[in-house]
Amino acid sequence: MIQSTHKSHQLKAVGMISGGLDSILAAKIVKDLGVEVHGLFMKMPWGCCDQAHAQQAADSIGIPLIILQLDERYLETVRNPRHGRGTAMNPCVDCRVHMFRRAARYMEHIGADFVFTGEVVGQRMMSQKKQSMALIARQSGLEGRLLRPLCAGILEPTVMEEAGQIDRQRMMRITGRSRKPQYLLAKRYSVEGYSAPAGGCLLTDQKFSRRIKDVFEHGYRNFRETISLKWGRHYRLSPEFKCILGRNMDENMALIRYAHPDDIIMQLPDNHGPTLILKGINPSPQILATAAGILQHFSKHKGQASIAMKYWPVKQRNLVQPIQAQELSADDLNPMKV
C-alpha cells in the first residue's frame, strides 16, 4: 500500500480515462493502492474514444470524471507537429504531449500528485516506445509524475515509486500488442462490459487526412466547424467554397447542427435525400447551381433532367429560395472530391 512521508496525506491522481479496458485496469490498480482517483476524458473532434463509454467506465470504477474538449490549440498541434507524423496526418507524439500538458494543468488545479494512463509499451508504434514515452513525459511537464501502471515495472521509476508512496512491486510489466495479459487482469478485477479496442484516430486514415489537409490549405472559421469533417461526402468547389452531403439521416442532422452561421443549407424539394451544407460566404449563382447539381447526383433524381433545389442561410431559416441544379457527371465530380 501507499507509504507516505506525510501520514495525513493521501495521494491524489488524475487518470486518463478512455472507456477502454487499459484505462479501466490502470484506474483499478491505482485506486486499489488507496489513491484518490479523478478521471479525465479528452474529447477529441475525430478521436477513437467515446465519451459515453468513458463515463460508464468511471461510474463502474467509482470515480468522478471531468470532460475537457480539445480545441484550436489541438488543431495547431495537428497542423505543425514538432515530432513528425505517422503514415497519414497523425502527429501521435505531439498529440500525447498536448493532452498530457492539459492533464498536468488539471492535476495542479485540483492539487493532485500525479497523472496516470493505461498505456502499454510497444502497443502503439509512434507514441508508446520507451524513448517516446520518456520524451512525452518530459515535454508535457510530467517527468517523474506520469505513471503507467500496466507497464511501469519496465520503465524508469516515478517520483512516487522512488519515495515509496507507490508500491513498485504492484506495477505490471505488460508489453506489446497482445491483449491476453489485459484480459487475464480483467478477470482478476471482475471487469466486464468494457469497450472493444478502438481502430485508432481518424487522423491515421488517408481519406480523412485529405480533408484535414484541405481545411489547413483553405482555412476554417472555428474549431466547432471542423467536427463535420468526419461526416458525409466532401467536395471542393473553389478555394472559397466547399460542400458536404450527409449519407443518412443522422449525418444530415449532425451537419445542420454543426453548420457555421454563414453556411447555406440545401435540400431536395420533398426533403427526401441528402442534406447539403455549402461552406463559404455569399456564394454566386454558379456555385449554388454546382452544389445543387452535386445534391441531385446523390439523390433519387440522379441521371434525370435538372430539378430545382431549395436552399436557405443557416441564420435565416425563413429565407428559402430555389436554385436550378447544374447537370453533372461522375467525371465532373471526381476532381472536386476531397
Neighbours of 69 (CB within 10 A): 13
pLDDT of residue 199: 59
CB 43 within 8 Å of CB 69: yes
Cell of 10: 493521501
Sheet holding 114-116, edge to edge: 65-69, 36-43, 12-16, 114-116, 146-147
Nearest by Cα to 165 from 331, 1, 2: 2
Compute the distance between CA of residue 259 and CA of residue 255 in angstroms, rounded to an integer: 6
**Residue 234 cell numbers, joined:** 466532401
Which pLDDT score, from 0 to 100, does residue 225 have? 87
Query: Can you say whether the dihedral through the CA atoms of 230, 140, 87, 338 is positive or negative?
Result: positive
Report the pLDDT value the prediction gives residue 173, as an integer from 0 to 100: 98
Mean pLDDT, the chain, whole residue set:
94
Residue limits of CATH 3.40.50.620 in the chain: 12-189
Please give the pLDDT value at position 168. 97
Within the chain, strands assigned E span: 12-16, 36-43, 65-69, 114-116, 146-147, 233-238, 241-245, 264-267, 276-279, 308-313, 321-324
* pLDDT in the model for residue 282: 95
pLDDT digits (tens, 9 = 90+) for 269-297: 999 999 999 999 999 999 999 999 999 99
Name residues of the chain where pLDDT drops below 50.
Answer: 1-7
3-state secondary structure of 103: helix
Q: 10-36 pLDDT, tens per residue? A: 999 999 999 999 999 999 999 999 999
Fold exhibited by the domain 12-189: Rossmann fold (3.40.50)
Report pLDDT for 30.
98
Give the per-residue pLDDT at 1: 38
DSSP designation for 2: -
Work out the angle at residue 308's Cα, subtended by the Cα atoms of residues 305 and 314, and round it to the nearest 5 degrees.
145
Q: Residue 337 carries which DSSP code?
A: B
Buried b (16+ CB within 10 A) or exposed e, 95-120: bbbbbbbbbbebbeeeebbbbbbbbb
pLDDT for the residue numbered 7: 47
